[in-house]
Structure 1
Amino acid sequence: MTAEPAQLHAQHVGETGETVVFLHGLFGQGKNFTQIAKALTPDLQSVLIDLPNHGDSEWTETFDYIEQADLVAEHLRSTVASDGPVHLVGHSMGGKVAMVLALRHPELISSLAVVDISPVARESMGEFDHLIGSLSRLDLAELSSRGEADELLQEPIPERIVRGFLLQSLVRDGEGFRWRVNLDLLHESLPQIGGFPEFTEETFEGPVLWIAGAESDYVQDDFAPAMRALFPRVSLTTIKDAGHWVHAEKPEVFSAVLKAFFTAD
């Protein structure tokens, strides 16, 4: 008996203009892009998707980029892309899902923005192993508030923006708290999350914007040949003074870059 596909939760922002679909990164959720989506209105409307094992979308038993991309593709095909292709933005893990989706379902995507990630396997996921470990060590049964959680995480995760981003997934559940991310599955799947499927023949021929944070190492010159092989029309934009969480660190610049790209003739 085949399991039913996981159901995806999506939030809509705006009512006019062409549609932009956002896919968040590891530990994220669609609403991480709410500020960006509002900045794109009224020129563009947005759909903010919670990927499986995140936000209000269902959890799965395994992690696989092709399965996730196909799941998002079916959601788009039955909703916002039913009348024609949409623009797609993906950050980090969501950027890998977005790239796989564009390669496997190019008819659904008119243009693609890949944010601070590359179509290569990352040798080390130690940073994310540390983050998941820090979150898992919080005793949710003893937690009195999200503010207390923030205090407890200050030593292992000193970056305020990163803590705030992660704690968006900590929600009240009755008198206690719970995580809206599937920490156990994501932890055991870090090698798969750090990897990238092999594509030998597929290419996406639409326009692609590759956005890098200047202070991040997820986009490197050495990765450019792999990117160009899959996405021949790629162009690179680097946002200075930004790290991996580009949209959270430089939201005004990020929004302006996206709007210029998606509204270009």
Structure 2
Amino acid sequence: MSHGLFYQTHSPKSASTEALPALVLIHGLFGNSDNLSVIRRAFEHERLVISIDLPNHGKSLRTERFNFDDYAERVVKLLQELKLSNCVLVGHSLGGKVSMLVAKQLPQIVSKLVIMDIAPIPYPARHHAVFSGLNNVDLSKISSRTDAKIKLAEHVQESGTQAFLLKSLYQDDNQQWQWRFNLPLIVRDYDALSAWDHSGICYSGPTLFMKGAESDYITAAHQATIIEQFPQASAKIVQAGHWLHAQKPQVVNALITKFLRGE
């Protein structure tokens, strides 16, 4: 199996990139590698940064089903193909869960782990309004992004969520509107991507969990489970919602910098 992942590498124009661990960025559900560009831009001047599109997102392959282990295995194959000997994984939401499993499979090269606003637990369904909004957008009938926004807004009221989803709307070579994520698969396999079937120690290296203060993806009730699976976990709270890197990029980048330095 080839990894089938679209990725981009960014590195300093001068000086060796071997001295510092590479930073591997993995986005969340409905996103693509561009979503973490605020982190990439902050670190690409000093070290190798790799931005990945997960399967069924962005320009990566479309698969027949969603499976956490499959997603992680594809990222593992990519990192092995790139011959990385030392890297730090930074994952947001769905990308955070994938990063957890990659670290579990490659502890010998993953020196640290940064998880943004997700816990190693199964989640109840919480994207009903998003699915309703996306399915309300008839891609064969819209003529502009504004048309799509109007249809989306009938079910998704939060402007930030609208903007995030609409970033993945584009016109293909035939000028047909398309989503950059595999919506039918995400809807069909939603239970699988909301799940988490792992227990016991997942990764014993240094792990930073960042929680959005206005988000309920990580709560105090999850603390024991996090420590069970990530015994070297520490936590920081960012005054933001679920998309904390977009809302407070300077704070997030500062926290990552301190974590990388061991502070």
Q: TM-score, normalised by structure 1?
A: 0.91
Asked if the contact 1:103/1:203 (under 8 Å) is kept, the reply is yes
Code of the aligned partner of 2:241 = G
Aligned residue in 2 for 1:140:
139
CA distance in 1, matches of 2:42, 2:34: 14
Code of the aligned partner of 2:234 = S
Asked if the contact 1:85/1:108 (under 8 Å) is kept, the reply is yes
The unaligned stretches of length 5 or more in structure 2 are none
Per-residue CA distance 1:223-243 (angstroms, 9 max, x = gap): 111111111111000001x11
Code of the aligned partner of 2:137 = L
The unaligned stretches of length 5 or more in structure 1 are none
Aligned residue in 2 for 1:161:
160
Aligned residue in 1 for 2:171:
172
Matched ranges for 1:25-174 at <5 A: 25-79=28-82, 82-122=83-123, 124-125=124-125, 127-173=126-172, 174=174
Asked if the contact 1:89/1:114 (under 8 Å) is kept, the reply is yes
Give the C-alpha shift of residue 136 in structure 1.
1.8
Choose 5-14 or 208-217, whichever is displaced more: 5-14
Code of the aligned partner of 1:192 = A
Give the C-alpha shift of residue 105 in structure 1.
2.1
CA distance in 2, matches of 1:91, 1:83: 21
Segments of 4+ in structure 1 off by > 6 A? Answer: none
Aligned residue in 1 for 2:9:
12
Asked if the contact 1:21/1:46 (under 8 Å) is kept, the reply is yes
Code of the aligned partner of 1:260 = K
Asked if the contact 2:133/2:154 (under 8 Å) is kept, the reply is no
CA distance in 1, matches of 2:48, 2:258: 14
The secondary structure found in structure 2 opposite 1:158 is: coil
Instruction: Report sequence identity in percent.
Output: 34
CA distance in 1, matches of 2:96, 2:202: 16
Per-residue CA distance 1:53-88 (angstroms, 9 max, x = gap): 000000111111111111111111111xx1412000
Aligned residue in 2 for 1:244:
242
Asked if the contact 2:136/2:151 (under 8 Å) is kept, the reply is no
CA distance in 2, matches of 1:131, 1:141: 19
Aligned residues: 256
Code of the aligned partner of 2:11 = G
CA distance in 2, matches of 1:91, 1:194: 14
Asked if the contact 2:133/2:153 (under 8 Å) is kept, the reply is no
The secondary structure found in structure 1 opposite 2:204 is: coil
Code of the aligned partner of 2:260 = F
